[in-house]
Amino acid sequence: MTTSEAAVRAAPTTDELTRSLVLLVAPDVDAATKVAAVENGQARLANFETMTAALANYGEITFEVAGPTVAGETVSAPVTIATPRGTAAPTPNTWVLIDGDWKLSEASTCQLLAMGQAPCV
């Protein structure tokens, strides 16, 4: 079995992708746990600390992941984010297979962090 075949067989479900996003904005989850769930996470530790603190009293954030597609070791899906301030138009997000785990890609992580007032620089 090739690596690509393994990635397709182990493709995450829509619910798993949604849960991975919810974890990243949960105010009761520490930044160290969050960085383990994203590509190149250690480089984003300070960003997650900033965003987690900012979201402490923000209110519920929900995600709707629609129609994920697998291409080798990458999963792509449009994601709609709803916050107390309204619902954003769907944006493309990607997850990458790293050491057997699906992690939000660095580009998608930085997009989420920017929305959370903790942009990547």
Query: What domains, with CATH codes, occur in the chain?
Result: 3-115 (3.10.450.50)
pLDDT band at 47 (very low <50, low <70, confident <90, very high): very high
Residue 28 has pLDDT above 80, yes or no: yes
What digits encode the pLDDT tens for the residues 75-93? 999 999 999 999 999 999 9
Please say whether the beta carbons of 103 and 96 come within 8 A: yes
Please say whether the beta carbons of 94 and 76 come within 8 A: yes
Q: Give the Cα separation of 33 and 24 in Å (integer).
A: 9
Entry pTM: 0.89
Q: Please give the structure tokens belonging to residue 36.
A: 């383990």
Please say whether the beta carbons of 121 and 43 come within 8 A: no
What's the average model confidence in pLDDT over 98-117? 95
Residue 23 has pLDDT above 90, yes or no: yes
Determine the 3-state secondary structure of 75 from DSSP: strand
Residue 72 is predicted with a pLDDT of 93
Residue 107 has pLDDT above 70, yes or no: yes
What's the average model confidence in pLDDT over 19-43? 96
Residue 57 has pLDDT above 50, yes or no: yes
Q: Give the Cα separation of 76 and 95 in Å (integer).
A: 7
- Rounded to the nearest 5 degrees, what angle is found at the Cα of 86, between the Cα atoms of 63 and 89? 60
